Structure 1
Amino acid sequence: MPDGTPIEAPDETSDAPSAERRHLAAEKKNQRYVWWYLAYFLFGIHIVAFVMIYAISHAK
């Protein structure tokens, strides 16, 4: 530019905050899913453990 100010691409400036916001929202959503999977996995492990304890304690 004649006045010395650089021209920035409109895609870079306008999409950067929204892209970052979308990335953070997706990361938060994915993190929530990871916690749910972990909770179901731990719950399932405990069910299996209780069934095994029951089977061993009631074996003849």
Structure 2
Amino acid sequence: MPDAEPAPEPARDREQRRLAQEKKDERYVWWYLAYFLFGIHIVAFVMIYAVMHAK
């Protein structure tokens, strides 16, 4: 009868997967930050334009 549970992974493989996932997550955080800062600047330029052209 085959085992119901797979054999436990070596700690090294688990650590490598964790590091790869952490690197991927960090990359996503930087992209979100870049989009957020870009958006803030667009809003600021629109507000500056509105104030300069208000009558």
TM-score when scaled to structure 1? 0.77
* Equivalent residue, structure 2, for 1:19: 14
Measure how far apart 1:15 and its partner are. 2.1
Q: Percent identity?
A: 71
RMSD after superposition? 1.2
- Structure ranking higher on relative contact order (CA contacts 8 Å, 6+ apart): 1
State how many pairs are aligned: 49
TM-score when scaled to structure 2? 0.84
Measure how far apart 1:33 and its partner are. 0.2
Which protein has the larger Cα radius of gyration, Structure 1 or Structure 2?
Answer: 1
Which runs of at least 4 in structure 1 moved beyond 2 Å after TM superposition?
none
